[in-house]
């Protein structure tokens, strides 16, 4: 039951990110010349 609940929360969170945050996150990650990804 706990695992199922966790999956539901994770899916909901991913849907929210996909709907609202993907473009912002991609732009944020791609345009960070001062903070390179190590």
Give domain status of residue 37, yes or no: no
Tell me the whole-structure pTM to 2 decimals.
Answer: 0.43
Give domain status of residue 10, yes or no: yes
**Per-residue pLDDT, 18:** 74
In 1-38, alpha helices (H) = 2-20, 22-30
Give domain status of residue 28, yes or no: yes
- Torsion over CA of 5, 14, 20 and 35, rounded to 10 degrees? 130
**Per-residue pLDDT, 32:** 66
pLDDT beneath 70, residues of the chain: 21-22, 26, 32-38
Give domain status of residue 3, yes or no: yes
**Per-residue pLDDT, 16:** 77
Domain region containing 19: 1-32
Give domain status of residue 38, yes or no: no
15 Cβ contact partners less than 8 Å away, ≥ 6 residues apart = none
**Per-residue pLDDT, 11:** 80
Total structural domains in the chain? 1
């Amino acid at each position: 039951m706990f695992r199922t609940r966790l999956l539901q929360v994770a899916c909901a969170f991913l849907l929210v990110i996909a709907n609202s945050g993907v473009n912002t996150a991609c732009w944020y990650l791609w345009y960070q010349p001062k903070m390179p990804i190590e």
